[in-house]
Homo-oligomer: A and B are copies of this chain.
Amino acid sequence: MEKIAYLGPEGTFSELAATAFTKSAERLPYRDISSCLQALAKKEVDGAVVPLENTIEGSVNITLDHLVHKHDLPIVGELAIPVAQHLLVHPQNADQSMGIVYSHPHALAQCHDYLSKHLSGAEWMHASSTAKAAKEIAENPSLNRAVIANRLAAKTYGLAITAENIHDFANNHTRFVLLSTRKTQNDPSVEARPSVNRKTTIVVTLPSDYSGALHQVLSAFAWRKLNLSKIESRPMKTGIGHYFFIIDIDHAYDDVLVPGALEEIKAIGCATRLLGSYPSAVIHEENEMESTI
């Protein structure tokens, strides 16, 4: 791949994920998830990296809804990367205490315990992304603000890290997916990572609202002993109580048992759609990010 779109600006966790997928591609920041996916749909880029789910917050609904309702962009790879948050200030202010902590509302929430203990007097101010907050502080050293962002943002915008790993939950990871409509020899390869799994993600719409329809769908997987790593309901947007399901199967699409299960689900009247069958890996610690492919 030559060009990869990611959720910008420079220094976001999406850019961190994009570098973990491949260091050789040109990375292009887009202002929101919708623009990333549109850029790929219009073939301005060869791939797009977007967040799908966070350990703490849950699914990124806008990504799911776009993949299900708006675009037909296959998932070709997945990486779960650690969300390590740090406290950054402009290097001019490295020895001063700041009156305001500035970041994305999720990042502030993720560091709630640290902020209560060590910066209880500071005011919280919301930014539209952690990287954007870092960029603003870099450009305006006179602002009395500390920023919560990742290590890449500190490096990108030349900020000093005054406290490391200030996030409350140690197991805070975000699953990022790489979407692409074409495959070339130079593709980034999640397969090269240690302990890689194969996953298949499908969308299932039940035939009608009757008792046990979902149970019947799950039966098709259960008696084949196919493990599901996730099942999530999302609204159809047609009325309260109308849902479709997004199911992650812990097997490749060409696993001998998977096509049979999907045929069985169709036979009972469900609509199914494949979002992708792809390699998936977890990067456990932030320091493993430097040794990326």
Contact = CB atoms under 8 A, between A and B. Distances in A.
Given A211-B225, A215-B219, A221-B215, A240 B55 contact: yes
Given A211-B222, A240-B80, A235 B55 contact: yes
A202 to B, nearest CB: 15
Interface stretch (A130-138, A177-185, A226-234, A259-267): A226-234
A231 B211 contact: no
Contacts of A55: 235, 237-240, 242
Nearest to A128: B126
B230 A222 contact: no
A95 interface: no
Interface in A205-232: 209-212, 214-216, 218-219, 221-222, 225-232
A231 B232 CA distance: 8
Contact of A171 (B225, B230, B231, B239): B239
Q: Among the interface residues A53, A57, A231, A235, which one has the most CB atoms of the partner chain B within 10 A?
A: A235
A53 B225 CA distance: 33
B225 A212 contact: yes
A58 B215 contact: no
Contacts of A214: 218, 228, 231
Nearest to A236: B55
Contact of A233 (B212, B232, B237): B232
A124 interface: no
A241 interface: yes
A213 to B, nearest CB: 9
Interface string A88-106: 0000000000000000000
A239 B80 CA distance: 10
Nearest to A226: B211
A271 interface: no
A173 interface: yes
A169 B237 CA distance: 8
Given A58-B234, A211-B227, A212-B222, 6 more contacts: A56-B235, A171-B238, A175-B240, A212-B218, A214-B228, A230-B243
5 contacts: A53-B240, A55-B235, A56-B235, A173-B239, A230-B243
